[in-house]
């Protein structure tokens, strides 16, 4: 599928402008795992947003897309003409985009030691996504078949991030990166290191078997694979040198 054939490319642009309605946001998130061209376009827009001082703050952009924040009336934003931008800025953008394209092969848009110090769950923001109501923040409870969207903070400026949950039955539910094929062993996704909240733009649905979930935001210095993490989990509390493991505990209800 080519980018030019996807209406979702316009929706991605609208997302970064803060004008995309929640229903269209949901459709766009569901489309991203199926279209590599749109994923690449999303990553380019994310890079440009990080370089553009006039771009919407991540918190506001995410809140609008999830329907949690209403667009505010703003004075027109005046952008400098591209010819006025210095060559060094373009060089930095090109270098950053090249580095982004060489990040771990998993794009981060998918479903299924020193120790790893655990901290509070403040680094992970979880939202419940439903067809009939606006998305809402998850506080303490999820339903067994809830579709969830995520955003994270990386105050520690780690290079990679993984998001997964475990239950009291020893099940592991992968959110980021994808793990849909048993023969594969996907790696952690590249983490954004800028201050603020960073969206993981796909809503993901699992059928939870247990009654209690521990949702982990694992921030890493190296790109571990899902099998490495599961082996560490099987051995007991996570013992990953240099890692930070933010954990949120949620009750699961039918």
20-34, 89-103, 138-152, 202-216: which has the minimum mean pLDDT? 89-103
Q: What would the pLDDT profile of 189-220 be if each residue is shown by its tens digit?
A: 999 888 888 888 677 889 999 999 999 999 99
Find the CATH number of the domain harbouring 194: 2.60.40
pLDDT at site 167: 96
**Band of residue 105 on the pLDDT scale cut at 50, 70, 90:** very low
Q: What mean pLDDT comes out for the span 154-160?
A: 93
- Whether 93 maps to a domain, the answer reads yes
Q: What would the pLDDT profile of 53-77 be if each residue is shown by its tens digit?
A: 678 887 778 778 777 766 654 444 4
Domain hosting residue 42, numbered range: 3-101
Task: Quote the mean pLDDT of the chain.
Answer: 77
97 and 122 together in one domain: no
DSSP 187: B
125 and 96 together in one domain: no
12 and 129 together in one domain: no
pLDDT at site 158: 95
- Whether 111 maps to a domain, the answer reads no
16 and 66 together in one domain: yes
243 and 124 together in one domain: yes
Indicate the number of domains in the chain: 2
Where are the extended beta strands (E) located within the chain? Answer: 118-119, 124-129, 136-137, 141-143, 147-153, 160-167, 172-176, 189-190, 197-205, 212-220, 244-253
pLDDT at site 122: 55
136 and 93 together in one domain: no
Q: Are strands 124-129 and 244-253 parallel, antiparallel or unpaired?
A: unpaired
Better-scored residue on pLDDT, 224 or 93 = 224
The pTM of the whole model exceeds 0.85: no
70 and 137 together in one domain: no
- Whether 49 maps to a domain, the answer reads yes
C-alpha to C-alpha distances, 82 to 18, 73, 85, 86, 221, nearest whole angstrom: 22, 26, 5, 9, 36
């Amino acid at each position: 599928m080519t980018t030019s054939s996807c209406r979702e490319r316009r929706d991605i642009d609208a997302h970064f402008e803060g004008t995309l309605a929640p229903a269209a946001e949901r459709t766009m998130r569901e489309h991203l795992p199926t279209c590599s061209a749109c994923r690449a376009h999303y990553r380019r827009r994310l890079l440009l947003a990080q370089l553009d001082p006039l771009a919407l703050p991540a918190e506001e952009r995410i809140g609008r897309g999830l329907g949690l924040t209403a667009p505010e009336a703003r004075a027109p934003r005046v952008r400098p003409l591209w010819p006025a931008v210095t060559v060094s800025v373009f060089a930095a953008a090109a270098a950053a985009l090249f580095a982004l394209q060489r990040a771990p092969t998993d794009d981060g848009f998918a479903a299924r030691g020193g120790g790893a110090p655990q901290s509070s769950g403040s680094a992970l923001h979880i939202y419940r996504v439903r067809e009939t109501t606006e998305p809402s923040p998850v506080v303490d409870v999820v339903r067994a078949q809830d579709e969830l969207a995520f955003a994270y903070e990386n105050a520690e400026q780690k290079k990679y991030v993984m998001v997964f949950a475990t239950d009291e039955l020893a099940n592991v539910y992968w959110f980021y990166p994808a793990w849909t094929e048993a023969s594969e062993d996907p790696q952690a996704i590249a983490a954004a290191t800028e201050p603020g909240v960073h969206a993981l733009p796909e809503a993901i649905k699992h059928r939870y078997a247990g009654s209690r979930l521990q949702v982990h935001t694992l921030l890493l210095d190296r790109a571990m694979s899902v099998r490495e993490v599961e082996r560490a989990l099987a051995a007991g509390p996570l013992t990953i040198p240099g890692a930070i493991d933010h954990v949120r505990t949620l009750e699961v209800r039918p």
